[in-house]
Amino acid sequence: MHLSTLLLCLCWGALVGASDGSDWCYTGCEHTPAHWSSISGAFCGGTKQSPINIVTSHAVTDDKLHNFTLVNFSSQHALKSLTNNGHTVKCILEENEVEVKGGGLNATYSSLQFHFHWGDTDHHPGSEHMIDGHRYPMEMHIVSLKKGLTVQQAIADPEGIAVLGFFINATEDGATSQTWDNFTSYLMNISAKDSMVSISHSISIDDLIGDVDLTKFYRYMGSLTTPTCNEAVVWTVFQEPIKVSKNLIKRFPMKTMLSNVYRPTQALNGRHVYASPAIPPSPGHAWCYDDHCAYSPAHWHLLPESHCGGARQSPINIEKKYVVEDQRLDDFTYTKFDDKHAMKYITNTGHTVKAVLKDGMVEVSGGGLGYVYSTLQFHFHWGSTTDGSEGSEHAVDSKKYPMEMHIVNMRKDLTLAEAKVTPTGLAVLGFFIEAADDHKGHGGGSESQEEGSTSNSDHWKKFTSYLSAIQNISSKVEVTEEISIDDLLGDVDRTEYYRYNGSLTTPTCNEAVVWTVFKNPIKMDKDLMKMFPRHAGYHDVYRPQQPLHSRKIYTTAASSAPGPVMMFLLLACFCALSV
């Protein structure tokens, strides 16, 4: 078969030979879309089918989706003929003239044809893809085969075919484009099935696309949207619609007698939809720690009002050899850390478990902070339910811990809005959490250590018993039992810590945090640690470590040697003064 003849009869259905695909339709025959899966030799019942509804807040930004290179889209003689194949209207392109590459595609694709999907004359919309449940009046598909492959080879390759999908939106009458008027004027010559008309006007694909921003698009792997529905298509769906006047859109159903020529949307079945970085943040602006949402940690900087791309971000890896001693880092003063009724409620935020404290009650000062801070809440970062999982945010000499607890404090002289834009506005006390030695009979452990971890464990048992009540995201539970922050911290040494200037570790990552990371970890039973991922319903809730850039990390002065001397001097001073 001569190639041009092949191209003439090449339509979605006939891509693999006419026999099986020819007896399908959108309405009025045995094989309507709901029954395409029973067409023999077809893949319409597969798990990677097209079209789909694109949920913009679930689209994952992919930096590799940069600009397309569209070769000869501006050519005035690439459009050869228009044909009505009984399912759609298809424009055949000149051979080896138009190409598509870039845009995150792995190969160069040769464009063969473009065709349309539409609704009916009563303005029922007929795009195939939907955006957040919205169906546009029409959709245009530019179909290209991976260069060098035959049709047979391309439909057997999961990325053998690239389709560029453009929505078409209806504009009010009057804003008629001459290009679309000329183009749609050919529809009157192809009202009969299998009729064909040569295109004599000078029309380029660019003229048809108009001012659509080609840097804004969605990408997913799918299928042909007509039988035999081969799962061989790299889909590109542009966000901005082409604008065509209502009257011209109406010509498609009117002149061809074909209406509602679109396939219903298909299940995503776990596939991901990616968005090019040029797409502005969606109002849902969902962020998460993995890549199953619009904004994974690598894309937090694209969120509205985000500081996540800044130069003093947290968490960091603390490299001991670069840490500098600072004599000003003295002991903290804790107010009401021992209050057993300071906790208001515990909530599951969808990103962490957070204990919110009563207003204006708990405070922290000293520790070289220079201000009095009000304690607002504490929350946790964790890994998975697997033994040995590392879910802390900070690390010391690259050692991560199973969990990390953050006690968040705000400068007392500021409002929250002010604190978030002040470099010292917030102070976070970070405690690593490590597994308590739960093998009781295990030799070597001193008696006092065992006692310590047992009593601490009772408080954590009490605290974690609330987790089963907040399995639903946004749910909260009131704390009725007596439990203080000191109870949870136990006897962990709070005199030795690291200090650096950083940020919140969740969006919007404001660079307003004076960080304190205590050297000695809290101990918690392994089984209690596992209750965090198990009950919250998510795991690995920690941000990857951020570059230090030019920041310095300070540490409390080595305590053992100067300690007694300091104490002696202090006592001497005190005595001198008081006597």
Binding site residues, Zn ion, CB under 5 A: 141, 406
Pairing of strands 513-518, 363-366: unpaired
With H, G, I as helix, E, B as strand and everything else as coil, classify residue 185. Answer: helix
State yes or no: residue 125 binds ligand NAG (CB under 6 A).
no
- Whether 341 is catalytic is no
Q: Determine which residue in the list 52, 60, 93, 105 makes contact with ligand NAG, applying CB under 6 A.
A: 105
Considering CB distances under 5 to 8 angstroms, the limit depending on partner class, which of Zn ion, ligand NAG, none binds residue 406?
Zn ion
Considering CB distances under 5 to 8 angstroms, the limit depending on partner class, which of ligand NAG, Zn ion, none binds residue 141?
Zn ion
> In one letter, which amino acid is 301?
H
Q: Determine which residue in the list 99, 181, 438, 540 makes contact with ligand NAG, applying CB under 6 A.
A: 99
Residues 546-565 that bind ligand NAG (CB under 6 A): 552, 554
How far apart (Å, rounded) are the C-alpha atoms in residues 537 and 386?
Answer: 14
What track of x and - describes contact with ligand NAG for positions 189 through 208 (by CB under 6 A)? x-------x-----------
DSSP letter string over 17-51?
-HHHHTTB-SSSSSB-GGGGGGSTT--TTSSS-S-
**Dihedral in degrees, nearest 10, Cα atoms 331, 434, 476, 56:** 110
What track of x and - describes contact with ligand NAG for positions 139 through 168 (by CB under 6 A)? --------------------x---------
Between 165 and 453, CB nearer to Zn ion: 165
What track of x and - describes contact with ligand NAG for positions 206 through 235 (by CB under 6 A)? ---------x------------------x-
DSSP letter string over 284-320?
T--B-SSSSSSB-GGGGGGSTT--TTSSS-S--EE-G
- Cβ at position 110, least distance to ligand NAG in Å: 8
State yes or no: residue 475 binds ligand NAG (CB under 6 A).
yes
Which entry of 87, 117, 141, 299 is annotated as an active-site residue?
87
State yes or no: residue 178 binds ligand NAG (CB under 6 A).
no
* 43-67 exposure pattern, b = at least 16 Cβ within 10 A, e = fewer: bbeeebbbbbbbbbebbbbbeebee
Distances (CA, A) of 386 to 61, 236, 398, 405, 532: 29, 39, 20, 19, 12
State yes or no: residue 247 binds ligand NAG (CB under 6 A).
no
Contacts of 351 (CB under 8 A, 6+ apart): 288, 289, 506, 538, 541
Q: Determine which residue in the list 182, 204, 449, 501 makes contact with ligand NAG, applying CB under 6 A.
A: 501
- Cβ at position 506, least distance to Zn ion in Å: 7
| 140: its two tokens | 């245009």
State yes or no: residue 71 binds ligand NAG (CB under 6 A).
yes
How far apart (Å, rounded) are the C-alpha atoms in residues 220 and 240?
Answer: 17
Q: Choose among 116, 114, 115, 135: nearest CA to 53.
A: 135
Distances (CA, A) of 229 to 15, 154, 167, 190, 233: 10, 13, 21, 26, 10
Q: How many residues bind ligand NAG (CB under 6 A)?
A: 32
Give the count of alpha carbons within 13 A of 551, CB side only.
25
Between 38 and 471, CB nearer to ligand NAG: 471
Considering CB distances under 5 to 8 angstroms, the limit depending on partner class, which of ligand NAG, Zn ion, none binds residue 189?
ligand NAG
Q: Determine which residue in the list 472, 493, 570, 573 makes contact with ligand NAG, applying CB under 6 A.
A: 472
Residues classed as catalytic: 87
Interface residues with ligand NAG (CB under 6 A) are: 66-67, 71-72, 75, 96-97, 99, 104-106, 159, 169-171, 188-189, 197, 215, 234, 241, 423-424, 469, 471-472, 475, 499-501, 552, 554
